[in-house]
Amino acid sequence: MENIRVRFAPSPTGYLHVGGLRTALYNYLFAKRNNGKFILRIEDTDQSRYVEGAVENLINALKWSGLEFDEGPDKDGGFGPYFQSQRLDIYNKYAAELVEKKNAYYCFCTPERLTSLRDEQKNQNLQAKYDKHCLSLSEAQIKENLNAGIPYVIRLNVPIGEKVVFNDIIRNRVEFVTATIDDQVLIKSDGFPTYHLANVIDDHLMEISHVIRGEEWLSSTPKHVLLYNFFGWEIPQFAHLPLLLNPDKTKLSKRQGDVAVEDYRAKGYSPEALVNFVALLGWNAGDDKEFYYMDELIEKFSLDRVNNSGAVFDIQKLNWLNTEHFRKLPKDALLNHLKSDIANSEFNEKKYSDEYLLLVIDSMIERVTSTKEILEKSPYFFTEPISYEEESKTKNWKPETPELMSELAKRFSLLGEIKDKHDFEQPLKELAAEKEIGAGKLIHPLRLSVSGMSTGPGVYDILYIIGKEKTISRIEKAVKAI
C-alpha cells in the first residue's frame, strides 16, 4: 500500500468523547496495520470553544488508551506545527490564492442581513444558504470596503449546476449536487480559518493519505473536494464512520449516560476493555470473536469491514468485556493498577507490601470488575471499620454475641504463628461445639466485627490477610461499639 499517513484532529473543547476515541482508534489501527504514521493535530481555530487544559487531558486519555501518536504536539515529524492556531499565515496565503483565482470571494454582509436572509428562506421552506450577494461586487467596491476597514469573511465560491462526486471506502460512491452546497465561510472576520479550509490545507501539507472521520462530516466533504480541485491537489481517500447510538437508536449523548473516556477511566474500567469495546462499535473481523487485545485488533483491522449503519453503545457488553479483561490481567498488572488506585484514594497515606496486596487481589478477583472496585467493596483491607451494617447487626448480633466474640478473640490470641487461613477455623469450630451452637452464630458476627459488612470473601480469608493482631483488636472494638 502507498505511504499511509492518517490523522486524528480533535478540537480542544473539554474531554475525549468515546466517539472521538473510536475515530482515533480506527486511524491508529489502520496506520499500524499498514506500517503507516498516526498523527495528532489540534484543531484550535475556534477560540471561543477553547478549554484550558483540554489538550493535556486529550493526550493523557489517548496515551491511557494505548494510542501513542507518531507525530503531533512535542513530537515533530517535519510537518508541524501541529496546532492550527500556529498556522494562520499558511491559511491566509492559500485563501488569498483562492480569491485571486475567483474560487473564493470577500463577503461584507452584516450579521443582520444574514439573519434576515435565513429567516426569509425559512419562511419559504428553502435551504438556509448564502445568496452570493457579495460575489457581484466590483474590484473597486471590494478595495474601498477593505480600505475602510469594513469587517469581512472569505467565502467559498461553489459552482452552480454541477455535481461533486467522490468515493468513500465505507459508503462507496457519494454524489452531491452543488445547488445543495453553501458558499462556506473559509476565513472568519477574526482572521481565523474555519475547519473546512484549515483541514484541507493541513491534510494536504501533512501528506494525509486517508481521512477517517465520523459520519457527521460526510455532508461537508463536497466542500472539501471542491477545495482540493480548486488548489489542484490530490484528494485523499475518505472513510466516514457510522454514528454511535444510544440503545433507543438516538445519537449517543451525555443525557443518557457517560460519553467521556475520562468518565470510564474514573469508574475503574480498564483501557484494554474500553478499546476492545469501542473497536467493535461499527467493525467486526467477520467472525464471532469479541475478546481482543490491541495487537490482535491491529492484525485484523481493515476499513472495508466497517459497517455503514449506526452502532449501538451497549453498556452491558462493555461491562462484560471489562470483567473478562480484568480477570485475564497478569498479577503484576493487577498489582500496578491497585497501587495506582490506592495512590489516588483516601488510603494513600499507608504503605502496603506487594505480598499483602496480592492476597487482597486473590480474595476479591471473582467479586469485582476493576481494582478500583476492590477499594469500594472491601475497604476493610485498608482501614478498620468505623460503622457496622445495620441489617447484619439486627440479624446476627444477639444478646449473647459480645460474650461469644470476646471468648473467640481470647482463643485467637492463644494461636501461634498463623500459617494459613485454616488456623482460624479450628478455635471457632471448637467454641461452637462447646456452646452447642451452629458455626454460623459465630461466623456472621465475626465477619461483621472485622469488616463492618455482611458480604465479601470467606471470613477466614479476611482474617488471614489482615492478621491475628488486627483481627483481635477489631473484635474487641466491635464488642464495645455494637
Both 359 and 403 in one domain: the answer is no
The answer on 364 and 267 residing in a single domain is: yes
Domain boundary among 349, 379, 409: 379
Do residues 228 and 294 both lie within one domain?
A: no
Please report where in the chains the cell 477593505 appears, as a residue.
Answer: 146
- For residue 257, what pLDDT is reported? 66
Same domain, 137 and 230: yes
Does a structural domain hold residue 249? Answer: no
- pLDDT-based confidence at residue 98 (cuts at 50, 70, 90): very high
Q: Which positions are catalytic?
A: 254
pLDDT in tens, 393-431: 999 999 999 999 999 999 999 999 999 999 999 999 999
| Tens digit of each residue's pLDDT (9 = 90 or more) over 312-325 | 999 999 999 999 99
**Position 472 in a domain:** yes
| CATH for 442 | 1.10.10.350
If asked whether residues 375 and 405 sit together in one domain, one would say: no
98 and 186 in a common domain: yes
103 and 220 housed in the same domain? yes
Please report whether residue 251 resides in a domain.
no
Q: Which of 355, 379, 403 is the last residue of a domain?
A: 379
pTM: 0.87
306 and 428, same domain (yes or no): no
Segment 161-216, tens digit of pLDDT: 999 999 999 999 999 999 999 999 999 999 999 999 999 999 999 999 999 999 99
Q: How many domains does the chain have?
A: 3
Assigned C-alpha cell, 248:
433507543
Residue-number span of the structural domain to which 117 is assigned: 87-241
Q: Give the residue from 316, 345, 379 where a domain finishes.
A: 379
- If asked whether residues 100 and 141 sit together in one domain, one would say yes
356 and 454 co-located in one domain:
no
Q: 300 with 319, same domain?
A: yes
For residue range 424-451, what is the model confidence (pLDDT) as tens digits?
Answer: 999 999 999 999 999 999 999 999 999 9
CATH number of the domain bearing residue 290: 1.10.1160.10
The CATH number of residue 197's host domain is: 3.40.50.620
One domain, residues 329 and 406: no
* Domain membership flag for residue 58: no
